[in-house]
Amino acid sequence: MGVPLSDGAKRIIDKKNFAHVATIMKDGSPQVSPVWVYRHGDDIMISTGVDRVKTRNIQRDPRVALSISDIDQPFPPVQVRGRVVEIIRGEAAVEGFVEVTKKYTGSEPAQLPPAADRVVYRIEADSVVAPEK
pLDDT string in tens for the chain (133-residue length): 799 999 999 999 999 999 999 999 999 999 999 999 999 999 999 999 999 999 999 999 999 999 999 999 999 999 999 999 999 999 999 999 999 999 999 999 998 999 999 999 999 999 999 988 7
- For domain 7-129, is the CATH number 3.30.479.30? no
| Extents of the domains making up the chain | 7-129
Alpha helices by DSSP H, 46-111: 53-60, 91-105
User: Peptide bond preceding 76: is omega within 30 degrees of 0, i.e. cis?
Assistant: yes
pTM of the model: 0.95
Nearest to 126 by CA among 77, 64, 61, 81: 81
